[in-house]
């Protein structure tokens, strides 16, 4: 048991030091969008938000929500989202949700810790006229996910043995 805790303690700094996603790689989306929303919280700004928005933020190291709304369909293509998927694949994030409909894609990725907590969460939603990319970094209890909806993060319901959060 002690070895498990030592390994967890050793891994946490490495997870916190992983490079963040470079949102400049999505500049093409922003250039074609009629509206953009960018929320980037780190350091003191994130601590201030944690004070306002509650416990769900207390162990996060960064929160990034970028949303792009387009005037008409066809103003972006799937290739424009490749940098997000490449980044996630390069750091071995696990895709836990992959929904593809005729004109919409929703993907959720996570970095899991051995104790059942989450070290990072990424959400990618692509609709004909809107794209949203969310990155959360830091230790997060899965039950806290629904508390993050105030930032445009989709509501995620979890089923724990027949009980929904």
pLDDT for res 156:
52
pLDDT for res 134:
92
Q: pLDDT tens, 28-84?
A: 999 999 999 999 988 888 888 777 777 667 788 888 999 999 999 999 998 999 999
Residue 27 CA from chain centroid, whole number: 18
CA angle 20, 98, 62 (to 5 degrees): 20
DSSP 129: T
pTM of the model: 0.76
Place of tokens 């050793």: 10
Is residue 6 very low, low, confident or very high in pLDDT (cuts 50, 70, 90)? very low
DSSP 104: -
105 CB-near residues (< 8 Å, 6+ apart): 78, 99, 124, 125, 126
Q: Enter the tokens of residue 31.
A: 């250039």
Is residue 122 very low, low, confident or very high in pLDDT (cuts 50, 70, 90)? very high
The answer to whether the beta carbons of residues 140 and 121 sit under 8 Å apart is yes
Residue 26 CA from chain centroid, whole number: 15
Residue 53 CA from chain centroid, whole number: 17
pLDDT for res 8:
34
pLDDT for res 36:
95
Rounded distance, CA 68 to CA 80, Å?
Answer: 12
135 CB-near residues (< 8 Å, 6+ apart): 20, 21, 62, 63, 64, 120, 121, 122
């Amino acid at each position: 048991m002690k070895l498990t805790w030592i390994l967890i303690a050793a891994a946490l700094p490495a997870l916190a030091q992983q490079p963040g996603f470079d949102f400049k790689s999505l500049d093409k989306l922003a250039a074609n969008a009629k509206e953009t929303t960018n929320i980037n919280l780190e350091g003191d700004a994130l601590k201030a938000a944690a004070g306002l928005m509650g416990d769900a933020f207390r162990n996060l190291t960064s929160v990034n929500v970028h949303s792009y709304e387009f005037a008409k369909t066809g103003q972006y293509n799937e290739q424009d989202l490749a940098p997000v998927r490449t980044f996630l694949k390069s750091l071995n994030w696990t895709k836990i949700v992959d929904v593809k409909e005729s004109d919409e894609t929703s993907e959720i990725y996570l970095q899991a810790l051995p104790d059942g907590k989450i070290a990072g969460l990424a959400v990618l939603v692509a609709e004909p006229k809107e794209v949203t990319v969310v990155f959360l970094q830091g230790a997060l209890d899965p039950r806290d996910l629904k508390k993050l909806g105030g930032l445009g993060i989709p509501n995620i319901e979890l089923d724990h043995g027949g009980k929904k959060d």
